[in-house]
Structure 1
Amino acid sequence: MSLDETLAVTTAQEDEEYLFAFKQNMISCVPLVLKATIELGILKILFESSAQLSPTQIASRLSIKNPDAGGTIDRILRLLASFSFLSCTLTQDKAGRPERMYGLGPLSKYYVSEEGASMDAVIQGEGDPFKLANDATLFDYTGTDPRYNNHFNNAMKCMSTIFMGKIMDTYHGFENAKTVVDWQFHSFTDEFVIQLLKKCWNALPASGKVVIIDPVSPEYPGSDLVTRATFTSDMVMLALPPGGKDRTLREVEVVARAAGFSSPKVGCQVLNMWALELYKTA
């Protein structure tokens, strides 16, 4: 299965029902993200601009100290574009990488505010909204609050049961595996993931492989259920684990190659989850 063949969203009725339910569970992300863009003054900047702007251009007009602000703004705005609050055009930057340009959409004109405010987690460069709110990172906090820890783990268990059940019906990449080591991928920074994959590369036999099962963010923010579910999931990754994100296929390929692996091979796509295989290169 080629990467291009997987880009078309083809979901069965049951899958669409699940994705709709997932979106409804996460729908609170949308008004909160919209509120953040209003308070930051991003909508006002887009309103005053005669052309669409890149996330980096928006960050420069906000005088933000956080060096990762462009990437954070991009993730926020692509969610709003997926829900038709903003317009988006997919272009390329000077290095030939995909770059999204944003402008106001039909809905956003009703939310333009004459007065901007501030959002500490973005402007001050703290970069970890959960820690700002709770004085601890997500995983440290779960170790101190038994009730939260129980809810968190039950939620992960329920979602994993649904996803893995459907994936195992389609994907046969674990057959004949003698050893399986489970680790998280989208909860960490690129630098951490590269180091993790390097350790995997060193530990794997010649016939071994890494299987990544995660949401994969599309390059263009479409309005289909899969895209909306993926971008709302990415907002959770932005808010909770420091450095977490749902990567695009290109971003997965970058960290895979940096660790010595070949380009990802697509095993299957189920709901908004993908099974990607990484093999050792000579």
Structure 2
Amino acid sequence: MSIEQEAHSAAVQYATGVVAPMVVKAAVELDLFQRIKKAGDISAEELAAQLPTSNPGAAAMLERILRLLTAHSILSCGGGGDERRYALTAVGKLLTKNDEVGSCCATSLMTQDKVLVESWFHIKEAILEGGTPFERAHASKDPRLSNLLNLNPLFNTRK
């Protein structure tokens, strides 16, 4: 790959960098990683059947999400023909809900939380006018985000 191609690839990654983390957050919220862990391997159709959805397109949407997670080495994909079967990789196992050290489930929920993400939209103003991005986005503390921070092993300093 040429230097220009590598630069273009990196620029595209930066421009679309929010996509994979938001898909991971949705997968955590839908308990997809837990469901895949329990099944060992599973198809998008089988996952959709386990969800409380009335959306007839849920399996197709899940298929796209699962393929994206596979492209990011969070899942592996096997199976032949029309049915792909997905399983957790070592990375995917770290996104399951558990109390073990190293689980990134709470981190995913916290860092992609709407309240925290809103802060990122205020970096420019904080640089130009002062304050922090969080203060600019939210005049007061958010107890829900505080709880997420406390549940997150990376940010919880309580003993």
TM-score normalised over the length of structure 2: 0.57
Q: Which amino acid aligns with 2:31?
A: G
How far is 1:76 from its partner? Answer: 0.7
Q: Which residue of 2 aligns with 1:20?
A: 10
Partner of 1:42: 32
Q: Following the alignment from structure 2 to structure 1, what is the Cα–Cα distance between the partners of residues 52 and 21?
A: 24
Partner of residue 21 from structure 2, selected from 7, 25, 31: 31
Shift of 1:49: 0.8
Say whether residues 1:75 and 2:73 are aligned partners.
no
Aligned counterparts of 2:84 and 2:4: Cα–Cα separation in 1: 32
- Aligned: 1:103 with 2:93: no
The whole-number CA distance in structure 2 between the counterparts of 1:54 and 1:87 is 12
- Counterpart check, 1:61 vs 2:67: no
Cα distance in 2 for partners of 1:88, 1:20 equals: 25
TM-aligned CA deviation for residue 90 of structure 1: 4.6
> Partner amino acid for 1:38?
V
Cα distance in 2 for partners of 1:92, 1:77 equals 17
1:87 paired residue number:
76
Identify, as 1 or 2, the structure richer in strand: 1
After TM superposition, give the deviation of residue 63 of structure 1 in Å.
Answer: 3.2
Q: Which runs of 5+ in 2 are unaligned?
A: 99-159
TM-superposed deviation, 1:101: 1.3
Cα distance in structure 2, aligned partners of 1:17 and 1:74 = 30
In the TM superposition, what whole-angstrom CA distance separates every residue of 1:120-169 from its partner, at most 9, and x where no partner exists?
xxxxxxxxxxxxxxxxxxxxxxxxxxxxxxxxxxxxxxxxxxxxxxxxxx
The structure in which a higher percent of residues are helix is: 2
Cα-to-partner distance string for 1:197-256 (whole Å, 9 max, x where unaligned): xxxxxxxxxxxxxxxxxxxxxxxxxxxxxxxxxxxxxxxxxxxxxxxxxxxxxxxxxxxx
Letter in 2 for 1:28: V
Q: Partners in 2 of 1:83 and 1:53 — Cα distance?
A: 18
Change in Cα spacing, 1:22 to 1:39, as seen in structure 2 (3 Å) is same
What TM-score, normalized by structure 1, do the two folds share? 0.33
Greater relative CO (CA pairs within 8 A, separation 6+): 1
Output the CA distance in 2 between the equivalents of 1:13 and 1:78: 28
Larger Rg: 1
Query: 1 CA distance for matches of 2:3 and 2:60?
Result: 34
Which runs of structure 2 are paired with 1:161-200 in the superposition (5 Å)? Answer: none
Structure 1 partner of 2:141: none
Shift of 1:17: 1.4
Q: In 1, distance between residues paired with 2:70 and 2:95?
A: 14
d(CA) in 2 for partners of 1:74, 1:36: 13
Instruction: Return structure 1 stretches of 4+ with deviation > 6 angstroms.
Output: none
Q: Deviations over 1:3-49 (max 9, x none)?
A: xxxxxxxx533122101211121111111110100000111100111
* Aligned-residue identity in percent: 32
Residue 48 of structure 2 aligns to which amino acid in structure 1? A
Separation of aligned partners in 2, 1:71 and 1:64:
13
| CA apart distance, 1:86 | 0.8
Kindly provide the amino acid, as one letter, of the partner of residue 13 in structure 2: K
The total of aligned residue pairs comes to 98
CA RMSD in angstroms, aligned pairs only: 1.5
Distance, in Å, in 2 between the alignment partners of 1:20 and 1:106 is: 24
Find the residue that maps to 1:92 and give its secondary structure: coil
